[in-house]
Chains A and B, each alone.
Chain A
């Protein structure tokens, strides 16, 4: 126990997150006071620099918001521009988008599970140290990630900032042979992904139960990935075009990332939300392994999100294989999207959660205003609430242990700080 009345826990540079941030928690007379997730990632002003650009440009430009989930930015941007221009993309092109997106889910989730998150559960500072004792496990993770990247390369032309995505579809559809060559690696990856679920389910999970509202895209026909309608665990559902009436961003002085609320409340988007809202639509192998390892139908322990991510990797691989089964190159690979004046909304499920874009176009197709609501900005209030609860529950623990637990709790969210530039130093102040 501490003899002090006030304590301050802080992490000045969070590790194993994407981007730069810090955390600060103040404890006063045994009660948690201020909790601040501080994003000091320098702002890059994407919404401003998009003004005046052509309606064809957001997929290439917004990809640069994030090196880990560029596909999410490209697809949400395409949806929003196509919506503004009144164009509906045919099903074969949508399937190819989903295939590309499956690659990003596999690559990004595998990166987070093996390189960023698992070292926490096993007591290592990083993957290199983890590999010294568990080389084969790390090699399995790297192989899984590599298959995700390979899928993005084959469909998108490049794994980071793909070049083949355009408004309306793709510049060139991959050939049947190009994609057929992915079948064997994907089957191997499926075995690795199932083994990954079994591996992470065996970790020791700290106790923490959260009560955030969940928000995820939903689709009547499938586990939503590249498209869908926003749905909330409270029962509310709304078209993407009503986004501004439900999701409101506001600025806090200690962070360059905006905070979002949903109907005035904090909420959570990402794997836990998707799984809670859409679980019945997971593919059979994903559901089977989730049940076998005892993953509850609604998971409210954010530390267990690593299991949900692993289950989603299984799903993404099965989904990719299914798309490959019936694949015929869409011809032509894109539909023309002639510009017109209007406002368009787009959404998709980035690995970290729902990603919303809104563009206003003039009649020449020039962007006059852009709004981008990334997952980490939406999850910031939920992350802070988790930290508050965690510190309150474990208030007797020494600063170093408590600080480490807080860092872990932040990494549960796989926060993408670069994309929150529109994230964190951990400090716990105690009184």
Chain B
């Protein structure tokens, strides 16, 4: 029997931008709704169908004791679990707290930090449960999201390139901003997917898709240092939306 697969969308600590990407598929949204049964998507519908679910898309990082329990329940109910975005795959910008401790952060924002129940670290979904596929980006790319869902429906692996942003610059014919303008750029070590947007606007890549599969951060760090970038600036460059991704975290700590 051909049953319509069920899709669930879950949210943890995040800005909602990645699940919004699904709603931003204006041309594909209604055709997609004909192919899958949207069984749980709180941002889009007040109707929820109980699990199990065929495909779960998970946005956001784990930052609270409740969410730590919730992700295990979601994993148990999901045949395939795909994380969407930098928060779910690398801890997100809120992982900056991992460096200085959550108490200190809470005390800055809240008069009564004691009311706030938050974990010391913001962690990716894969730190807690097995993940079938991780889609990078802050935010994810619409085309890549459609590819992941289409691949799932076709029963094949998603065709999402593992190379760096540099390839995308070459593809769109953007002259290298580091070579031609001396603009610091994380493109050589950053995962492709955005289409090399920032260099096309004359600015350096700020790494919102996180590290590529085999990033040579040492070479890039040496180049950044040689062009006169102070250590603190280089550290901050690696520490934004994917600060806790291994390669970026290590590169931020290492002196070239």
User: B131-159 toward A: CB 8 Å interface, digit per residue (1/0)?
Assistant: 00000001100000000000000000000
| B128 proximity list for chain A (CB < 8 A) | none
Task: Tell whether B8 is near chain A: CB-to-CB under 8 Å.
Answer: no
Q: List 8 A-B contacts (CB under 8 A).
A: A16-B46, A19-B11, A45-B106, A48-B97, A68-B20, A166-B203, A172-B201, A172-B202
Given A126-B45, A163-B201, are A45 and B97 also a contact pair (CB < 8 Å)?
Answer: yes
Q: Is the CB of B109 within 8 A of A47?
A: yes
Interface centre among A54, A163, A418 (most CB of B within 10 A): A163
Measured between C-beta atoms, what is the minimum distance from A170 to chain B in Å? 8
Task: Tell whether A111 is near chain B: CB-to-CB under 8 Å.
Answer: yes
Measured between C-beta atoms, what is the minimum distance from A331 to chain B in Å? 13
With the chains together, A119 CA to B46 CA distance in Å?
Answer: 10
Determine which of A20, A41, A54 lies in contact with B236 in the assembled complex, contact meaning CB atoms within 8 Å.
A54
Determine which of B23, B138, B200 lies in contact with A64 in the assembled complex, contact meaning CB atoms within 8 Å.
B138
Measured between C-beta atoms, what is the minimum distance from A377 to chain B in Å? 12
Q: Is the CB of A161 within 8 A of B139?
A: yes
Measured between C-beta atoms, what is the minimum distance from A182 to chain B in Å? 16
| B194 proximity list for chain A (CB < 8 A) | 158
| B115 proximity list for chain A (CB < 8 A) | 251, 253
Task: Tell whether A24 is near chain B: CB-to-CB under 8 Å.
Answer: no
Q: Is the CB of A49 within 8 A of B203?
A: no
Measured between C-beta atoms, what is the minimum distance from B195 to chain A in Å? 9
| A163 proximity list for chain B (CB < 8 A) | 197-198, 201, 203, 206
| A16 proximity list for chain B (CB < 8 A) | 42-46
Determine which of B12, B45, B139 lies in contact with A42 in the assembled complex, contact meaning CB atoms within 8 Å.
B12
Task: Tell whether A65 is near chain B: CB-to-CB under 8 Å.
Answer: yes
Q: Which residues of B contact A (CB under 8 A)?
A: 11-21, 23-24, 26-27, 29-30, 33, 38, 41-48, 63-64, 66-67, 92-94, 96-97, 102, 104-106, 108-112, 115-116, 118, 138-139, 194, 197-198, 200-203, 206, 208, 233, 236, 240-241
Task: Tell whether A97 is near chain B: CB-to-CB under 8 Å.
Answer: no
| B26 proximity list for chain A (CB < 8 A) | 142-143, 145-146, 149
Known: A44-B13, A47-B108. 10 other contacts (CB 8 A): A16-B44, A43-B110, A44-B93, A45-B102, A49-B93, A67-B18, A135-B30, A149-B24, A258-B110, A418-B16
**A-B CB pair tally, cutoff 8 Å:** 180
Measured between C-beta atoms, what is the minimum distance from B117 to chain A in Å? 9
With the chains together, A135 CA to B241 CA distance in Å?
Answer: 38
Q: Is the CB of B29 within 8 A of A142?
A: yes
| B139 proximity list for chain A (CB < 8 A) | 67, 158, 160-161
Closest residue of chain A to B86, judged by CB? A64
Given A160-B139, A418-B14, are A64 and B236 also a contact pair (CB < 8 Å)?
Answer: no
Q: Is the CB of B236 within 8 A of A70?
A: no
**Cβ-closest 9 pairs across A and B:** A67-B17, A126-B45, A125-B47, A15-B46, A48-B105, A48-B108, A45-B105, A146-B26, A142-B26
| A157 proximity list for chain B (CB < 8 A) | 197-198, 200-201
